[in-house]
Structure 1
Amino acid sequence: MAVYTEVPFAEAAALLERLNLGTLTELRGIQGGIENTNYFVTSEREGQTVEHVLTVFERLGFEHLPFYLHLMKHLATHGVPVPEPAADARGEILHTVQGKPAAVVDKLRGASELAPGAAHCAAVGALLARMHLVGRDFDRQQPNLRGLPWWNETVPVVLPFLAPEQAALLRAELAYQNHIAEGSAYKALPRGPIHADLFRDNVMFDGEAVSGFFDFYFAGVDTWLFDLAVCLNDWCVRHGGERDGEPVPELQQAFLNAYEGVRPLTAAERTLLPALLRAGALRFWLSRLWDLHLPREAALLKPHDPGHFERVLRARLPLAAPTRPAETAAA
């Protein structure tokens, strides 16, 4: 989360008043992430302090956002712990701030767990499966906007910034993923709304219990297996050090066992999991390359390291290449 749009205190206060969320007392920009402008908003309502998150959407337009917000509403209504969008007197949950689309959602209790153990992974795996099942009767459709068509469009844009070895890997993996997507087994995989970005910093815990999933603004209809692979590539790999990006088998098994305790994988999903793990790594290596080399201005911005997901991808290849990436070529 970064701050691209400076929101005046008075405008935020007026929005909270329209939403019947009380009198604004504090507006604080959130640092971290790279897609949208986010603020913690604190208000006083009927003698109590209330906290929400205000998001101003920088890349997403009014045409895409109803899917994300109504998906969150659907999940919350069916007992999946996610932030519920606040509605105005007319029932609208998509608002406007500084001429841009915006939403205000509940602030989840607890904290993220950036060094998860097996119990954390199991808790997330079980809730992810439950979320997939609950989403089956969600009646809106929108593709994963960072799926294969976006990869095909974006790879040529980032290639000039890469060293030859990196460029060769990126081209080869994109060709492989296009091949996988053309197969009948892939086309038959179970699908539905997915989070598509359920990293460790998008989950809150009270102890070892999950208090909620948040940041659904990459969600879309795609294979549930891709959603699972994205999680395994963040929750169940090493972060930092000489073995950065390597899978941690005991964490991956805990995550998978808990997921399958709620929704068993099909035979085709088991077969294609290695390919989708590579797809998940490719997607985030590519998006981080894009954000690093083609950045937008922001008042608060910490770009993520693309090299981490290059290492994750290399570790997921059948004959893993050395896990340390080549130096990125100068722009």
Structure 2
Amino acid sequence: MAVYTEVAFAEAAALLHDLNLGDLTELRGIQGGIENTNYFVTSEREGATLEHVLTVFERLSFEQLPFYLHLMKFLAGRGIPVPAPAANAKGEILLSVQGKPAAVVDRLRGKSDLAPGVAQCEAVGATLARMHLAGLDFPMSQPNLRGLPWWNETVPVVLPFLTPAQADLIRAELAYQNHVAQSPAYAALPRGPVHADLFRDNAMFENGELTGFFDFYFAGCDTFLFDIAVCLNDWCVLHDQDHDGSLDTPRSLALLTAYQAVRPLTAAERSLLPALLRAGALRFWISRLWDLHLPREAALLQPHDPSHFERVLRARVRDTHALAALLRDDALQSA
């Protein structure tokens, strides 16, 4: 959500007219994130104020984007609270800005809750399970582009920037994840479209109520358990500078219990949650290392600190056996 592509007011205004979204009144670049260019766009149409988000995609191609945009449209049509892409008169939702792919989607109400409690984690768990079930018959398919093949390609690129201890950890964990991915239990994991990046800043709340999930541009077809693990690693961890990456048990149980009430976990998912928690931590440690050490220029670029997910990964490795207690029936039922 950094600004790589400077969009002029007149250009954005013409785009909104093409989408029948009225007259542009405000265009504001969004700070945060590092993948795409994002703007808040406000317009007036027939006396009503409309709020949308304009995204110009910097890495994803015209060929890759239909999966993300049509997934959002599909989920919104199934009653899942996600932003729906706006279409022009031809019914097109994949647009072009300065020769780059772009989209305009609804802006969700409220704001992100960066200090979530049990109630917020319950809401996220239940809605995530509903989203997974709703996506089971989505007709399009695309792999998680930041999955295991990308980890295998990217770790050698970031290794020169690591200390010997960090290099040992990342190599060992990558080998472990390749081993897990070849196991029969992993092959048995339920799969479908997943968000794959459902952090606290990719959900909105208003008056304590979850209004939706957004930023689906890392989505892909992967295991539902990976999506759950990514959520647990962000929503249920302390984020102060002194944290050691450990999971907060009440919030973790709240998220898992709420999820399981909608879509019960399988035996394979219960057995592999500790491993997938490690996978989620590894994925974001790798990507943050990559973004920090191999950055692109941007007007509002703020790369995230990789050390956060290094600490999370070390905690997951340390607590692999203890984490299995989260999956006991009595623990989930008493949460």
The correspondence of residues 230-249 of structure 1 with structure 2, limited to 5 A, is: 230-249=230-249
* Conserved 8 A contact 1:123-1:208: no
- Residue by residue over 1:215-248, the C-alpha shift from the partner in whole angstroms, topping out at 9 and shown as x without a partner, is 0000000000000000000000110132242210
Aligned sequence identity (%): 77
Deviation string for 1:40-93 (max 9, x for gaps)? 001110011111000000000001100000000000000001000000001000
Indicate conservation of the 8 Å contact 1:56/1:100, yes or no: yes
- The residue number in structure 2 matching 1:87 is 87
Distance (whole Å) between structure 2 residues aligned to residue 196 and residue 259 of structure 1:
16
CA contact (8 A) 2:108 2:211 kept: yes
Aligned to 2:84, what secondary structure does the other structure show? coil
Matches within 5 A, 1:310-321: 310-318=310-318
Q: Counterparts of 2:10 and 2:242 in 1: how far apart (Å)?
A: 49
The 4+ residue runs of structure 1 with deviation greater than 3 A are none
Partner amino acid for 1:28? R
Where does the alignment leave 5 or more consecutive residues of structure 1 unmatched?
321-331
The answer to whether 1:223 aligns with 2:223 is yes
Instruction: Tell me what 1:132 maps to.
Output: 132
Question: What letter corresponds to residue 267 of structure 1 in structure 2?
Answer: A
- Alignment RMSD (CA, Å): 0.8
Matched position secondary structure for 1:222: strand
Name the CA distance, whole Å, in 1 between partners of 2:9 and 2:245.
41
* C-alpha distance after superposition, 1:18-37 (max 9, x if no partner): 00000111110000000000
> Relative to structure 2, which stretch is displaced further, 26-35 or 236-245?
236-245
Is the partner of 2:24 in helix, strand or coil?
Answer: strand
| Alignment partner, residue 285 of structure 1 | 285
Cα shift at 1:318: 3.6
Paired amino acid for 2:237: V
**One-letter code of the match for 2:38?**
N
Alpha-carbon distance between aligned partners in 1 of 2:7 and 2:294, rounded to the nearest angstrom: 24
Is the Cα–Cα contact under 8 Å of residues 237 and 244 in structure 1 kept in the other structure? no
Shift of residue 188 of structure 1?
1.2
What is the letter of the counterpart of residue 23 of structure 1? Answer: D
SS at structure 1 position matched to 2:39: strand
CA contact (8 A) 2:244 2:315 kept: no
Q: Unaligned regions of 5+ residues in structure 2, if any?
A: 321-335
Q: Secondary structure at the match of 1:6?
A: coil
User: How far apart are 1:9 and its partner, in Å?
Assistant: 1.1
Question: For residues 226 and 68 of structure 1, what CA distance do their matches in structure 2 show?
Answer: 18
Match of 1:99 in 2: 99
Which residue in the other structure is 1:328 paired with?
Answer: none
SS in 2 for 1:168: helix
| Residue type at the aligned position of 1:52 | H
User: CA separation in 2, counterparts of 1:144 and 1:158?
Assistant: 20
Which one-letter code corresponds to 1:316 in the other structure? R
Match of 1:327 in 2: none
Give 1:7-86 correspondences, 5 Å limit: 7-86=7-86
TM-score (norm 1): 0.96
Q: Output the CA distance in 2 between the equivalents of 1:244 and 1:29.
A: 34
SS at match of 1:317: helix
Q: Using the alignment, how far apart are the partners of 2:179 and 2:280 within structure 1?
A: 15
What's 2:306 paired with? 306
- CA distance in 1 between counterparts of 2:290 and 2:186 reads 27
- The equivalent residue for 2:164 is 164
Deviations 1:83-137 (A, max 9, x none): 0000000100000001100000000001100000000000000000000000001
Q: Judge conservation of contact 2:196–2:219 (CA < 8 Å) in 1.
A: yes
Q: Partners of 1:74 and 1:15 in 2: how far apart?
A: 23
CA distance in 1, matches of 2:62, 2:152: 25
Give how far 1:207 is off.
2.4
Q: Is the 8 A contact 1:2 1:298 kept in 2?
A: yes
| Residue of structure 1 equivalent to 2:155 | 155
Give the TM-score taking structure 2 as reference length. 0.94
- Residue type of the alignment partner of 2:224: W
Q: What secondary structure, in the 3-state scheme, does the structure 2 residue paired with 1:242 have?
A: coil
Matched to 2:73, the amino acid is K
Letter matched to residue 201 of structure 2: D
Q: Distance in 2 between matches of 1:91 and 1:143?
A: 26
CA distance in 1, matches of 2:9, 2:111: 26
CA distance in 2, matches of 1:191, 1:111: 30
**1:303 & 1:113 partners in 2: Cα distance?**
20
Alignment match, 2:200 = 200
1-structure distance, mates of 2:319, 2:219:
32
